[in-house]
């Protein structure tokens, strides 16, 4: 499919308006609509509902009404329906990729991975649920003990704008498989693909099982977090908002899953093939336009190869094509909006003020026909590990690079941040790799191949990177509760308690 030209909304058949999806149908939002714009051109793609408390009330009510029947649906049927969702997502993925590329500003080729992960999530949980209910059962004195797993109830789920379909699948698939109903609040900055997916789901699942309410975080998101009839909170986003969600969960004693920020180290040993290591490192800091919490943005390179590695890293950065998001040859495209673009550029100013050295990049680029967008050069910054640029999440296509000389030093350096979501290691020596991997404070460690997601591998973070795990069978436990039943064959004889 030719994608080097600019696409418009008519060619992907978008609705003019996307209201909340409640009880199987799209409804008018109480507070009206807001514009959803093409990240790189500024074109209005559609209007999305500005959901508020009344919309959330209706959505939670629909989910509550649908819960008993869905919880009692045989697991074989839930499994079959999840596979139908996977099939439908597979069939519609090319159109949804294009929508998502325009909505987020990301290069369209990246969505091949996004949709592979999303489709696999539904297929994985369609299978995993069939063995989830293995519990403990054993004879006890005068009876039998049974433990069983039950769904939690109505789940509130809030997802970010950077990888909409990945985030939607991470939340929806395990919750549905475990027998929960839910209200999903997608991000106002990029949610059209998710709302289109919601329309597809409504043709497969019973009414009220999945409800979606778009809107602004302080309005729809806050109303959902605060709703008194929610049984579980799940949030992916920033640490400050995650703390607020966690505080609410703590006050109400609700189970919570939080996937928050990251500042991943990517450790390079001196025994690597430098050319392939540079390629892996470049992927690790530029994919997703740099707008991801799992990026390997802290390159820690051994002193013996530091100069050669850095020189080749810069040369590789110069080769990266910056261009229109819907061009399949583009490798770096537009950030989500002006606010994010200015935030990234401001971090480069902070780096200079701290004494860090920008070795390459650091500038906004103009792409003809897409002047609205914030296209940022791949940026490489030589920095000390205690500098803000090496400690805080930039959320743009930038990496710091720092020297190290001994293993204990680099482990300390790698762990010396508030986050612990992901990490990378590159070495030919697997003993080095596993010694270091076991000492890193990170939920996922990828050796020699960054972003090496494997279906069924738990995903989540240490420290301020979150609470709980997704993307694995562990997620079914996050959306379930245990019940113990002890049956006595005979009642105690008279006089036992006298």
Q: Which sequence positions are flagged as catalytic?
A: 259, 293
Which helix (H) or strand (E) segment holds residue 49: the answer is strand 44-49
DSSP 194-221: HHHHHHHHHTTSPTTSEEE----IIIII
**Residue the block writes with tokens 């992916």:** 236
How many Å apart are CA 159 and CA 170, to the nearest integer? 9
Q: Which two tokens stand for residue 26?
A: 């799209």
**DSSP, res 108:** G
How many Å apart are CA 240 and CA 296, to the nearest integer? 22
How many Å apart are CA 281 and CA 479, to the nearest integer? 35
Q: Which two tokens stand for residue 231?
A: 């049984």
How wide is the angle at C-alpha 426 spanned by C-alphas 420 and 429, nearest 5°? Answer: 120
Return the bridge partners of 375, or none.
334, 365
**DSSP, res 491:** P
Say if residues 398 and 347 touch (Cβ distance below 8 Å). yes
| Burial grade of 59 (CB within 10 A; 0-12, 13-18, 19 or more) | buried
Distances (CA, A) of 331 to 32, 39, 111, 376: 37, 16, 12, 12
The pairing of beta strand 480-488 with beta strand 143-151: antiparallel
How many Å apart are CA 14 and CA 10, to the nearest integer? 7
Give the residue among 289, 275, 248, 300 at the shortest CA–CA distance from 413: 300
Q: How many CB atoms lie within 10 A of CB 315?
A: 11
Q: How many CB atoms lie within 10 A of CB 406?
A: 10
How many Å apart are CA 344 and CA 233, to the nearest integer? 30
């Amino acid at each position: 499919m030719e994608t080097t030209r600019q696409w418009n909304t008519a060619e992907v058949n978008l609705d003019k308006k996307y209201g909340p999806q409640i009880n199987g149908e799209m409804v008018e939002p109480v507070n009206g609509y807001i514009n959803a714009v093409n990240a790189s051109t500024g074109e209005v793609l559609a209007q999305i509902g500005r959901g508020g408390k009344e919309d959330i009330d209706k959505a939670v009510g629909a989910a509550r009404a649908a819960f008993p029947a869905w919880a009692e649906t045989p697991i074989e049927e839930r499994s079959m329906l999840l596979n139908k969702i996977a099939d439908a997502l597979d069939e519609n993925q090319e159109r949804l990729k294009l929508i998502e590329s325009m909505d987020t500003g990301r290069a369209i080729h990246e969505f091949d991975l996004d949709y592979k992960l999303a489709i696999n999530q539904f297929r994985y949980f369609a299978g995993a649920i069939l063995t989830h209910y293995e519990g403990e059962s054993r004879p006890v004195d005068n009876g039998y003990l049974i433990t069983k797993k039950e769904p939690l109830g109505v789940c509130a789920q809030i997802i970010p704008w950077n990888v909409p379909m990945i985030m939607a699948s991470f939340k929806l698939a395990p919750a549905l498989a475990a027998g929960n109903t839910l209200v999903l609040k997608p991000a106002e900055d990029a949610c059209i693909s998710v709302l289109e997916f919601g329309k597809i789901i409504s043709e497969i699942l019973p009414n009220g099982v999945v409800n979606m309410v778009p809107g602004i975080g302080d309005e729809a998101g806050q109303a959902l977090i605060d709703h008194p009839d929610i049984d579980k909170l799940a949030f992916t986003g920033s640490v400050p908002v995650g703390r607020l969600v966690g505080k609410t969960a703590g006050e109400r004693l609700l189970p919570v899953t939080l996937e928050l920020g990251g500042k991943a180290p990517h450790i390079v040993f001196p025994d690597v093939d430098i050319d392939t290591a540079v390629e892996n490192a470049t992927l690790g800091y530029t994919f997703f336009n740099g707008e991801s919490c799992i990026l390997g943005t802290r390159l820690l390179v051994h002193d013996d190869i530091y100069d050669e590695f850095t020189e080749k890293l810069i040369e590789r950065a110069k080769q990266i094509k910056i261009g229109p998001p819907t061009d399949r040859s583009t490798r770096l495209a537009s950030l989500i909006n002006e606010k994010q673009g200015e935030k990234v550029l401001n971090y480069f100013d902070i780096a200079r003020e701290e004494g860090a050295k920008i070795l390459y990049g650091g500038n906004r680029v103009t792409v003809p026909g897409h002047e609205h967008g914030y296209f940022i050069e791949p940026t490489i910054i030589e920095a000390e590990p205690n500098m803000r640029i090496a400690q805080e999440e930039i959320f743009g296509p930038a990496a710091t690079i720092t020297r190290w000389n001994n293993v204990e030093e680099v482990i300390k350096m790698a762990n010396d941040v508030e986050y612990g979501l992901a990490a990378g290691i590159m070495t030919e020596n697997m003993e080095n790799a596993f010694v270091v991997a076991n000492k890193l404070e990170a939920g996922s460690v990828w050796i020699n191949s960054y972003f090496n997601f494997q279906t069924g591998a738990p995903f989540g973070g240490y420290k301020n990177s979150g609470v709980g795990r997704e993307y694995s069978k562990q997620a079914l436990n996050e959306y379930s509760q245990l019940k113990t039943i002890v049956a006595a064959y005979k009642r105690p004889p008279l006089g036992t308690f006298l």
